[in-house]
Amino acid sequence: MQLSPENEAFRDEVRAFFEAELTPELRRSGKLMTSVYADHESQMAWQAKLHAKGWAAPAWPVEYGGCDWTVVQHHIFAAERVRAGAPPVSPMGIKMCGPAIIGFGTEEQKAYFLPKMLSGEHFWCQGYSEPGAGSDLAALQMKAVRDGDDFICTGTKIWTTHANVADWIFCLVRTKKSDRKQRGISFLLIDMHSPGIEVRPIIMASGEHIQNQIFFDNVRVPVANVLGEIDDGWTVAKYLLEFERGGSAYAPEIAVALDELASQIQAQPDGPSRAILDMNIAEARIRCDILARLESDILSRLSAGAPTGADASMMKILGTELQQRVTELALDAAGPLARAFQPGVAMPGGPIPHHDISDYCSGEIWQAIAPLHYLNERASTIYAGTNEIQRGILAKAELRI
């Protein structure tokens, strides 16, 4: 992608900011992440720096604290963050609930929630999935019964990222029975400190406590906390999912991961296994280049105000499947040393129960992290709507099936 002189100057400004503001601790957090989430402390520290610069939520409208950037400048910022090794901020508030509040919230809701979301005073989690409602999200059963100016909420949400440290949750709840599952659902903002809420940890295969199950037992929530219209929360949810599925470029992060992997295997001896690994990395680079060109094409159309159709679904499929492939290659490269379970040497996205944080590592750190990345990345083709669901969307939109 050829940059104009103005965009080159913007890129240099972004690079200078990262160089000045990324402390060794923040760089370490970004480098040693084992999933798509940085540890909570680093997330909040980095968001505070971005907020002070005015870059915490660049995609928001300027009047709410966003930046007047072009589509290309957003892409430059995302790519330079990856190259600099900065930890990402949590997407739940700024990249997901924030745009929904801007799009559907009342003036009172915007004035109360958005500034606190920007500053980090409010940390958010997402309450969508339930034990019986995952990809078929409209099958959700958590109830919200009207009682005067409140809803009384009862039910459970599962796979809730960082619910253990969240202040607020945006939730889909059933407020009315209907002949169609999508009807009678409301989008509700709930204070996680409300009486009747219990959070139980779910320990991932990588050893981290990132996911949780939340139980709601007669939790009172003001009706004023409904986002959009009562019983029409599905409209808000579909709007929000567009940001979750298509809100970022995959290629820059994948390219950096492939560069690091190629560098890490340089010390390995030549031989048949090394030749196969080199060939597979080269094949992944080709796929990454194709992905980058597709993302650039989408950027060009967005810059021109042209529709992108079902591109968010296509990019979600291509990006997440290639992410998984890179973790598979890293696991192959790590070899037998990857068999050791060493979550304590990394900077995981949450606490590691029953494992101490340690500087000792059997092998090199990248070899210890490789299986953790692999295990975490198994979820990427499931969250934000499974890739099977995305293929169904593409078939309906493009093939008219």
Give the 3-state DSSP-derived string for the chain, with helices as H, strands as E and coil as C.
CCCCHHHHHHHHHHHHHHHHHCCHHHHHHHHCCCCCCCCHHHHHHHHHHHHHHCCCCCCCCHHHCCCCCCHHHHHHHHHHHHHHCCCCCCHHHHHHHHHHHHHHCCHHHHHHHHHHHHHCCCCEEEECCECCECCCHHHCCCEEEEECCEEEEEEEECCCCCHHHCCEEEEEEECCCCCCCCCCEEEEEEECCCCCEEEEEEECCCCCEEEEEEEEEEEEEEHHHEECCCCEHHHHHHHHHHHHHHCCCCHHHHHHHHHHHHHHCCCCCCCHHHHHHHHHHHHHHHHHHHHHHHHHHHHHHHHCCCCCCCHHHHHHHHHHHHHHHHHHHHHHHHHHHHHCCCHHHCCCCCCCCCCCCCCCCCCCHHHHHHHHHHHHHCCCCCCCCCHHHHHHHHHHHHCCC
Query: CATH for 5-89?
Result: 1.10.540.10
Give the per-residue pLDDT at 359.
Answer: 64
Give the per-residue pLDDT at 358.
Answer: 66
Mean pLDDT, residues 108-131 taken together: 96
Round the average pLDDT of the chain to a whole number and report it: 90
The full set of domain ranges for the chain reads: 5-89, 124-240, 249-398
Identify which has the larger pLDDT, 174 or 401.
174
Q: Is the pLDDT of residue 302 over 70?
A: no
pTM for the model: 0.86
**Known catalytic residue: 295?**
no
CATH superfamily of 249-398: Butyryl-CoA Dehydrogenase, subunit A, domain 3 (1.20.140.10)
Binned at pLDDT 50, 70 and 90, residue 227 comes out as very high
Active-site residue, from 80, 130, 208, 244:
244
Give the per-residue pLDDT at 246.
Answer: 47
Does the domain at 124-240 match CATH 2.40.110.10? Answer given as yes
Tell me whether domains 5-89 and 249-398 share a fold: no
Give the per-residue pLDDT at 345.
Answer: 81
Binned at pLDDT 50, 70 and 90, residue 324 comes out as very high
Grouping H, G, I as helix, E, B as strand and the rest as coil, residue 221 is strand
Residue 128 tokens, joined:
């969508």
pLDDT for 242-288, tens place per residue?
655 445 678 888 998 999 999 988 877 787 788 999 999 999 999 99
Q: Is the pLDDT of residue 126 over 50?
A: yes
